[in-house]
A = this chain, B = another copy of it.
Amino acid sequence: MSRDRVYNFSAGPSVLPESALESARRDLPDYKGCGISVMEMSHRSPMFQEIFDTTKARLKTVLRVPDSHEILLLQGGATLQFAAIPMNLMEGAAADYAVTGHFSNRAAKEAEKYGAVHIACSSADSGFDRIPTQERLQLSPDAKYFYYCANNTIYGTEWQYVPETAAPLVCDMSSDILSKPVDVSRFGLIYAGAQKNMAPAGLTVVIIDKALAGRELPYTPQIMSYKTLIESDSMLNTPPCWCIYMLGLVLEWLEGQGGVEGMEQIKRERARRVYEVLDNSRLYIPHAEIGSRSDMNITFRTGDKELDAEFVKGAAARGLLNLKGHKVAGGMRASLYNAMPMEGVDALTDYMKEFEAKHHV
């Protein structure tokens, strides 16, 4: 498999490991001699069941998911979980939400339909440029859970600690799952859209403490009942088979990179190289506060919108794709997910330095 070398800094869907794409291409017409492709397999067939079981087992091993927790491989994205979480866990009562960005804000708004939402913290006033410290979290005694988003894709901030709360932790890890070790046993529920660090868009991974299942509101759709989904091992209906297969290939690649420990070392180095350029720059203004910076999505701007646009355009001309910031944040954003090779990071920092040399007065 060969293709022109470009580097894809998209915030998601995003770059996938070359080896995973190669395997997918190899298997496409005929998966392991069975005569059909994975896209054509019945989800009830032994062939697909093996793919499903192997992928789930790989994820359990890589993330060290304890037996107390179940892994669900679902559809619907984070937006579906914004509703499923309060419908299943809030019991019509209350929950604490940490609002540190666009998506945690949307999650909190959605939860208001199903109970009382306490805002445990908000960094909206400072343009979502920081993560609150533990001391600043306002926790309520009646909260059924504490909700936060581990990494804010749009604003480029990331929680550097796991909050201490009496209520079970519920965490949206869409954009930093599999990038570092996580003590899953500390969480009531972890979920992640796959389209950043895991697989193509169309798959959502939920990891839930089984003790929390079975508390859904009576009008909860069956497709959103964690209890039912656990009982049916994610096959209440046809799962997103192709994405699950791709997740298996990505996990195979990840194991070869040293698992989440290997990923953590690499992602730290990737981010270090870009932040170093930003911190030594007189042109670029990083968005996130030091101490809240994301290793996955690095946000910055020049302060001049036309120059920002020129930066993005010039980058694309060099094969450095999708560096434009999200529309609500503006500026630039470099997403450095697991599958981004270090050569891509170096190509980016070289370009950033050249662009500064050319444009800084």
Q: Which residues of A contact B (CB under 8 A)?
A: 1-6, 8, 10-16, 21-22, 24-25, 28-30, 33-37, 39-43, 45, 75-80, 82-84, 87, 110, 113-114, 193, 195, 200-203, 218-219, 221-224, 236-243, 246, 319, 321-322
User: B10, A45: Cβ atoms under 8 Å?
Assistant: yes
User: B241, A13: Cβ atoms under 8 Å?
Assistant: yes
User: A5, B35: Cβ atoms under 8 Å?
Assistant: yes
A-B contacts, 15 of them at CB < 8 A, read A6-B36, A13-B238, A13-B241, A16-B40, A22-B29, A25-B25, A25-B29, A36-B321, A77-B237, A77-B238, A78-B237, A113-B221, A193-B237, A200-B241, A202-B240
* Residue in chain B with minimal CB distance to A218: B113
* Residue in chain B with minimal CB distance to A80: B223
Query: How far apart sit A243 and B202, CA to CA, in the bound complex (Å)?
Result: 8
Q: A3-B30, A11-B42 are in contact. List 11 more A-B contacts (CB 8 A).
A: A1-B28, A10-B41, A14-B42, A39-B200, A80-B221, A113-B221, A193-B238, A201-B238, A202-B202, A202-B242, A219-B219
Cβ–Cβ < 8 Å partners of A16 in chain B: 37, 39-40
- List the 8 closest pairs (A to B, CB-CB), nearest first: A83-B221, A202-B240, A6-B35, A3-B30, A39-B200, A79-B237, A75-B75, A10-B42
Partner of A110, one of B10, B110, B202, B222: B222
* Residue in chain B with minimal CB distance to A47: B321
CB of A329 to closest CB in B, whole Å = 13
Partner of A12, one of B42, B218, B243, B322: B42
Partner of A77, one of B4, B21, B35, B223: B223
Copies, count: 2
User: B10, A40: Cβ atoms under 8 Å?
Assistant: yes
* Residue in chain B with minimal CB distance to A14: B40
Query: How far apart sit A218 and B22, CA to CA, in the bound complex (Å)?
Result: 47
A35/B4 contact (C-beta < 8 A), A13-B42, A202-B240 known: yes
Cβ–Cβ < 8 Å partners of A37 in chain B: 16, 21
Partner of A223, one of B1, B39, B76, B203: B76
A13/B43 contact (C-beta < 8 A), A28-B21, A33-B4, A239-B201 known: yes
Cβ–Cβ < 8 Å partners of A203 in chain B: 202
Query: How far apart sit A237 and B203, CA to CA, in the bound complex (Å)?
Result: 12
Cβ–Cβ < 8 Å partners of A13 in chain B: 39-43, 238, 241
* Residue in chain B with minimal CB distance to A242: B200
User: A219, B35: Cβ atoms under 8 Å?
Assistant: no
User: B75, A319: Cβ atoms under 8 Å?
Assistant: no
CB of A317 to closest CB in B, whole Å = 12
Cβ–Cβ < 8 Å partners of A75 in chain B: 75-77, 80, 202, 240
User: B24, A28: Cβ atoms under 8 Å?
Assistant: yes
Cβ–Cβ < 8 Å partners of A24 in chain B: 28
Query: How far apart sit A203 and B16, CA to CA, in the bound complex (Å)?
Result: 21
Cβ–Cβ < 8 Å partners of A10 in chain B: 40-42, 45
Cβ–Cβ < 8 Å partners of A36 in chain B: 3, 6, 8, 15, 321
Query: How far apart sit A83 and B219, CA to CA, in the bound complex (Å)?
Result: 9
Query: How far apart sit A110 and B219, CA to CA, in the bound complex (Å)?
Result: 9
Cβ–Cβ < 8 Å partners of A3 in chain B: 29-30, 35-36
